[in-house]
Structure 1
Amino acid sequence: MAPEGTPPPVVLACGEVRTCLLPALQTLDGRSAAQLLGLRADERVLLSERPNVYGRSPDTLTGVDCPLPSANGARVRAVGTVAARASLTEGRVLQSSAHFRVPAAGPDHRRPWGHYLVRPGTVEPFGRLPHETVAQGLLNGGRHGELDVGLIADGLLTRLLRHPLLDQRPPLKSRPTRLRWVALSAERDEEPSMERFTLAEDELRTVRLRVPPGTPTGEVAGLCDDLALHDWLLTTLVRILDGIRLGAAEPPARLRPRSGEDRPAVVTALRPAVDHLLHLWMPRARVARELAPLWEVLEDRPGFTRQWRTLVQRIRDQLALHAIPPPHREAESPP
């Protein structure tokens, strides 16, 4: 039995990640990244150059007092703070994420805000938490007036995208994606597991995890940031290739261009991917060692890295083909 005064264990964590291409023609260097991600004057931006160039903002807190979503419609009021942060990978891919954790039970009445502020990123329910039904409700998305962690992540991203450092001239067309996740506590001796990874409509992905009790929520959020980054890379590369007419039937001789006028279109479409995306693939670069095995689920099925390598090879093959000069055709002699 837990000693008196011991807080109840965390049984659920939830978060949402927004991922997009930085709307700037040039990548940001370390100093500019620190300016972009400097969300708080009292804490420095985390910058690193190994194994790739990466910057992460300090956490910001948003106070909440509202019902939690639940799959069966039960009203579960909760009070606390949601933590949000932003990151920039290789000066090119921008992410904002928000997350919180929920203990198994909370007080029966609201406490002063000071109680919640010393527990950053924790949202306490009133009474016991029906964690399974709340987890499913969070994945499904709540109704108006319920806690929506995605709105907090989206608000942070909107703030960053208006930064004066950004010239709003991205080097290629892309769409942002959303990844919503929940993590439930596993049994004491159970290994972490990924129970479900789903591609939903409207650029939404959902992830349901089981993690050992006591796993820091920040580490789970880091794993999901990494999943969101690489899912966005795959999605963007697929769309680039889908937008190009590859392997079309050869036109009749009388309609063929005489000097390869159609080649620049393919090269122009593919070159931004080579310049800005292909070097970004680095799964698990910043994932906690205890959670890194969860990546193996995605490597086995659907096979993230396998699909990435196939797409990269297609791009390189197309660029190689278009680097070959057209066959020389001798001019016909006059009659």
Structure 2
Amino acid sequence: MRPEETVPRAVLACGEVRTCLLPAGQALDSRAAAQLLRLRADERVLVSERPNLYGRSPDVLTGVDCPLPSSNGARVRAVGTVAARAALTEGRVLQTSAYFRVPATGPDHRRPWGHYLVRPAVVEPFGRLPRDAVAEGFLGGGRHGDLDVGLIAAGLQTRLLRHPLLDQRPPLRSRPTRLRWVAVPAPDGEGPSLERFTLAEAELRTVRLRVPEGTGSAEVAGLCDDLALHDWLLTTLVRILDGIRLGPGEPAPRRRPAAADDLPVVVGALRPAVDHLLHLWMPRARVSRELAPLWDVLEDEPGFTRQWLALVQRVRDQLTLHAIPPARREVEPTP
């Protein structure tokens, strides 16, 4: 029997994903990745090599007893456990995530911890759950003292980034991102839907989903890990390109002409992207079959893969352009 079946039906699942570049000069191989992600001695790290190298830690549980965030100011105390895990893609991109699910109602008093420990990743409210208010409150960040799974994911990320395997010499500059998500049940007979994907601020994205009855919260978390990974890749590549001066042949007002000295600067900025990022784009590679169609929404609008391919082509065009000898670049066309 799955853990999902040992608890009352969940009417809300919430989580947050932290994504960052692993601070190591070389990508970790499968052996080193398993060593990094070994969070528990009693469970092994899952490692796969197809379609790309991917490792995922076992879940670790954190006990919580605090109010749930709420958009209408309601104070709903909840007790239970939050599941957290880490994943490493191609030995290069680290993700830590934390998530939980909530039933519609819970007991009116706290039970012994043994009751909660046999219900992993379940947080039970005291009384009835104001689902929509808690969902919006969670996406909004809540108040000080409310349940904040982002702090749990961040704590796990900090722990892993200090691992002795890492030499703290990342091959390129990048910023971490956060993706905060909620999922509520879809109407009977309807499939999954992505209601909202928002760039809330520079590093924060929020996602609201509807998923069919019986969809596991771990499966929803896997989908959101995948969205967060590819959003981080897009964001990082955009920032790399924004951080370099336009190459020769691309006019810009009041900008000095490109010189031969630009070659090492541009190549130095773009080559790490080619070496470490461009091959990582594989949407839906590890998303459950039931939830994979949600990617179609992002492919239509805003067009994740379309934007990625345009950025990749721009990187390649810049490298090709700067590979042309300076003397040939400066030849004026004959009238």
Shorter-chain TM range is over 0.9
Q: Deviation at 1:6?
A: 8.2
Per-residue displacement from partner, 1:284-330 (whole Å, max 9, x unpaired)?
Answer: 0000000000000100000000000000000000111111112269x
For residue 80 of structure 1, what is the aligned residue in structure 2? 80
Match runs of 1:110-129 below 5 Å: 110-129=110-129
Point out where structure 2 has 5 or more consecutive residues left out of the alignment.
330-335
Aligned CA-pair RMSD: 1.9
For residue 213 of structure 1, what is the aligned residue in structure 2? 213
For residue 230 of structure 1, what is the aligned residue in structure 2? 230
For residue 326 of structure 1, what is the aligned residue in structure 2? 326
User: Higher Cα Rg: structure 1 or 2?
Assistant: 1
Code of the residue aligned with 2:59 in structure 1: it is: D
Tell me, yes or no, if structure 1 residue 104 matches structure 2 residue 104: yes
For residue 168 of structure 1, what is the aligned residue in structure 2? 168
For residue 305 of structure 2, what is the aligned residue in structure 1? 305
Give the TM-score normalised by the residue count of structure 2: 0.93
- Alpha-carbon distance between aligned partners in 1 of 2:255 and 2:268, rounded to the nearest angstrom: 25
CA contact (8 A) 2:180 2:205 kept: yes
For residue 333 of structure 2, what is the aligned residue in structure 1? none
For residue 36 of structure 2, what is the aligned residue in structure 1? 36
- Alpha-carbon distance between aligned partners in 2 of 1:144 and 1:290, rounded to the nearest angstrom: 36
Equivalent position SS for 2:293 = helix
For residue 156 of structure 1, what is the aligned residue in structure 2? 156
CA contact (8 A) 2:40 2:60 kept: yes
For residue 50 of structure 2, what is the aligned residue in structure 1? 50
CA contact (8 A) 2:76 2:125 kept: yes
Per-residue displacement from partner, 1:98-138 (whole Å, max 9, x unpaired)?
Answer: 00000111111111100000000000001111111110010
Equivalent position SS for 1:327 = helix
Match runs of 1:5-20 below 5 Å: 7-20=7-20
- Alpha-carbon distance between aligned partners in 2 of 1:6 and 1:292, rounded to the nearest angstrom: 26
Structure 1 range deviating more: 240-249 or 27-36: 240-249
Code of the residue aligned with 1:217 in structure 2: it is: S
- Alpha-carbon distance between aligned partners in 2 of 1:137 and 1:183, rounded to the nearest angstrom: 13
Q: Deviation at 1:186?
A: 1.0
Tell me, yes or no, if structure 1 residue 144 matches structure 2 residue 149: no
Code of the residue aligned with 1:177 in structure 2: it is: T
Q: Deviation at 1:250?
A: 9.8
Equivalent position SS for 1:210 = strand
CA contact (8 A) 2:6 2:119 kept: no
Give the TM-score normalised by the residue count of structure 1: 0.93
- Alpha-carbon distance change, 252 to 98 in structure 1, aligned in 2, over 3 angstroms: closer
For residue 190 of structure 2, what is the aligned residue in structure 1? 190
- Alpha-carbon distance between aligned partners in 1 of 2:139 and 2:201, rounded to the nearest angstrom: 13
Q: Deviation at 1:34?
A: 0.7
- Alpha-carbon distance change, 33 to 328 in structure 1, aligned in 2, over 3 angstroms: closer
Code of the residue aligned with 2:276 in structure 1: it is: H
- Alpha-carbon distance between aligned partners in 2 of 1:73 and 1:160, rounded to the nearest angstrom: 35
Equivalent position SS for 2:168 = coil
For residue 269 of structure 1, what is the aligned residue in structure 2? 269
Number of positions where the alignment pairs a residue of Structure 1 with one of Structure 2? 323
Equivalent position SS for 1:132 = helix
Code of the residue aligned with 2:98 in structure 1: it is: A
- Alpha-carbon distance between aligned partners in 2 of 1:87 and 1:212, rounded to the nearest angstrom: 25
- Alpha-carbon distance between aligned partners in 1 of 2:87 and 2:30, rounded to the nearest angstrom: 12
- Alpha-carbon distance change, 73 to 262 in structure 1, aligned in 2, over 3 angstroms: same
Q: Deviation at 1:256?
A: 7.0
- Alpha-carbon distance change, 320 to 129 in structure 1, aligned in 2, over 3 angstroms: same
Structure 1 range deviating more: 135-144 or 219-228: 135-144
For residue 64 of structure 1, what is the aligned residue in structure 2? 64
- Alpha-carbon distance between aligned partners in 1 of 2:290 and 2:222, rounded to the nearest angstrom: 12
- Alpha-carbon distance change, 150 to 328 in structure 1, aligned in 2, over 3 angstroms: closer
- Alpha-carbon distance change, 252 to 71 in structure 1, aligned in 2, over 3 angstroms: closer
Equivalent position SS for 2:270 = helix
- Alpha-carbon distance between aligned partners in 1 of 2:88 and 2:180, rounded to the nearest angstrom: 19
- Alpha-carbon distance change, 115 to 263 in structure 1, aligned in 2, over 3 angstroms: same
Identical positions, percent = 80
- Alpha-carbon distance between aligned partners in 1 of 2:88 and 2:111, rounded to the nearest angstrom: 37
- Alpha-carbon distance between aligned partners in 1 of 2:217 and 2:22, rounded to the nearest angstrom: 26
Tell me, yes or no, if structure 1 residue 278 matches structure 2 residue 281: no
- Alpha-carbon distance between aligned partners in 2 of 1:313 and 1:154, rounded to the nearest angstrom: 34
